Amino acid sequence: MKHIQLFLLLLTMGFASQVTAQTFTLRTSSVSYSEKNQIGKWSKWSDFAKADLIITIDGKKNRIVVNSPTIQVFTIKSYGEKTETDKDVITPFECVDNNGSKCNIIVITRKNEGNRMQFYINYSEVKFVYNIYN
């Protein structure tokens, strides 16, 4: 268990600077979503549903793949700057999905929650969050 925690800590510390040259594989446990309504207000997040998936962030190919029942492929157009607060480490990516739609993908490590990781896919009208195994 300590090896896993150490690995996640090192992964978090070097994620943004190293992601352009490496491949990372993440396993999800659950997913939730929120939709924007007709007046532009976001809905409450849905209840988390089980989602045992693999997400691959491939810095060499500038690609993120979410291996859901319908495989989602995102081309990384821009690597954002990693930011760190007292509570979170945030690593953003500007992407285009396999349908040509623009989105932002964000990997957040919750420092005050035992370095729990979440993977966000944010479109203009809908957003998804996947919980990542620790």
pLDDT at 59: 93
Q: Are 37 and 130 in contact (CB under 8 A)?
A: no
Q: Is it the case that residue 14 has pLDDT exceeding 70? A: no
A 10 A CB-CB count for 22 gives 13
Stretch (H or E) spanning 114: none
Does pLDDT of 18 surpass 60?
no
Per-residue pLDDT reduced to its tens digit, 91-120: 999 999 999 999 999 999 999 999 999 999
Name the β-bridge partners of 83: 90
Query: How confident is the model over 1-7, as a mean pLDDT?
Result: 39
- Top pLDDT among 17 and 75 is at 75
* pLDDT tens per residue across span 32-74: 999 999 999 999 999 999 999 999 999 999 999 999 999 999 9
d(CA 116, CA 102): 27
Three-state DSSP at 34 gives strand
pLDDT value at position 21? Answer: 64
